Structure 1
Amino acid sequence: MNEAGVDWESLYRSQTTGWERGELNPAFSHWSDTFKQLAASGSASVIVPGCGRSPEPIVFADYGYRVTALDIAESAIAFQERALGVAQSRHCVEHADVCEWRPEQHADLVYEQTCLCAINPDKRAAYAEALYRWLKPGGVLAALFMQTSIKDGPPFHCAIDEMYELFPDQRWEWGSDTVTSPHPVAEISELGILLTRR
């Protein structure tokens, strides 16, 4: 169970996973050229917190990234371990509290698709600090900010003015190219923005 009081593993086991798309997030496809360019050095690394059973870690691996996928649910971890073939590869899947976990090396990219909206708002500052810590200077945070009219969460609404405060200009350069992804759950969408760590 995480800080939001949700037993994610039970939801996976009962197939109560309405948030799962079963395909790439439209924002991922929108950013695919940028992701490929970042991977062009041949030694790029990406961290995918709250990876769930999403296909994005697998595609990042196909692009040439060294992938670290994090989740709190054992079913999600087992899925990504099988998909990435971690026993025979340079990829890593870890059971982790994302606010406390520390990588061995700074990453080039963090793909933030589901974690922020699943964390209680009073834990957001700690998570934002972790994201900053994970990335190397010049590294990219691909953030998908949840937009929802649901009063309580998760998912918790990520109001854009609050996101500007959480990821301030002193630490982050905000990109101008935004993309909106419809969500499998009605009346919910994600606002995608690329931020660069200063």
Structure 2
Amino acid sequence: MKTDFQFTLALVEDFFQQPAIQSRLQLITQHRITGWEIWLQVEFACFIDTYPEIGNWYRECQYDIDKRRSNTRKSMAIDFAFRRKHTNKDKYIALEVKQSLSTTQCIHNLFKDVEKVWHMKSSEDDLRSMWCLGIHPSSSQVEVRNTVMKYAKKYDFELDNGCIEYQLIEGTDWGFTLF
């Protein structure tokens, strides 16, 4: 059986291999459209709704914040929580999604989301794993990996080197990073 990272990576790869998504990303580049993260999340929601290996999924899942860890907010939302078929029915894979015109800013914003999830009340934690997906202009593998490791160190998060993936999105000027 695939690990959660392998499963999530295959899901993301299948999503970005869709010709319709690739052509829309080209259009976004051609017309310099900004603020399209919500559009991408809606497209992703439609995609996972019909994905044969997804048991069920939620978007913008609300969780209470542990007041001992943060007193500035009472709740927070995770972009996606989904469950693989034939897995524990009360444990979900979380996915935070960010889009930016800057690779560095995209990765930094993802780490800020990881920090936010870190403040979740443990009594509400139904997550088996959490992954971050960033969509940003194409870059080099080395630059992306160095940026991810820089922010992992800054936020004091330990990452498995085998669970950091950067790929170009075919036919576009964009790439995605998953960690």
Q: TM-score, normalised by structure 1?
A: 0.37
Q: TM-score, normalised by structure 2?
A: 0.40
